[in-house]
Structure 1
Amino acid sequence: METLAAFQEAFKDEANTIVFISSETCSICHVDEPRARKLAQEFEIPYYHLDIMQEPELAGFFEVLTVPAVLVYHEGKEIARQARFIDFHSLEKLLQQLPKQSEEIDYQALFK
């Protein structure tokens, strides 16, 4: 998924999402991107690789100051962010803890 508009449309329907932001000129990005993609596949989480060289407004939208950056979202809210030096071990631990589906909350049951 290359464009910000397409990402925003697809993003709102997902329980969990991983966003990897890179640049064509970043050598570390070329090494880390396949590792991040593999983690997303293992946990069956939608994965989006976005390039700030192709879409410069991404840096502002995601408030990313350096690449590579990995952002993890749960139900549309950012719950984790790592940039420049990605700790894949802690990222994997986080993904293990995420619920696989959105949880429906019965608010009436909460207040009884």
Structure 2
Amino acid sequence: MVPAISSGAGPHVVFVTGKGGVGKTTVSILLGTLLSRVGETLVISLDQAKHLKEYLDLEDVNRVYNVRGGLYAMQFDTGRDIDRLSSEYMMLMKRIMPGLKVLNLDKTVEIVKTRRALRRRCT
């Protein structure tokens, strides 16, 4: 894999995935370090445990840091983003359906589907 990337044929994206605790962050840092010898490399982590931030001693989340040479790193705060999106969708639901007091996902989805179907028929 690394020889194909080192050919210099433009930007590449490499995803490191797997179950928790198998060493994804460690492998990502090592792979990023190797690839940074070929060109500028950005390692991004979506891990809610924020191990990349911890291992590379990044000061903050949602910011790109130059670790060394051509190696850059960024730790997303996915928990914060999920909370923000949930709040935004909740506010949108309250605006669309002001009488909604209890959020039951199944009923809410059915209501949204019904409203969308009614709008299509009316236009």
Q: Same fold (TM over 0.5)?
A: no
Per residue, is there more helix in 1 or in 2? 2
Whichever of the two has the greater Rg, that structure is 2
The TM-score, its normalising length taken from structure 1, stands at 0.32
Greater per-residue strand proportion? 1
Of structures 1 and 2, the one scoring higher in RCO (CA 8 A, sep 6+) is 1
Q: Output the TM-score relative to the length of structure 2.
A: 0.29
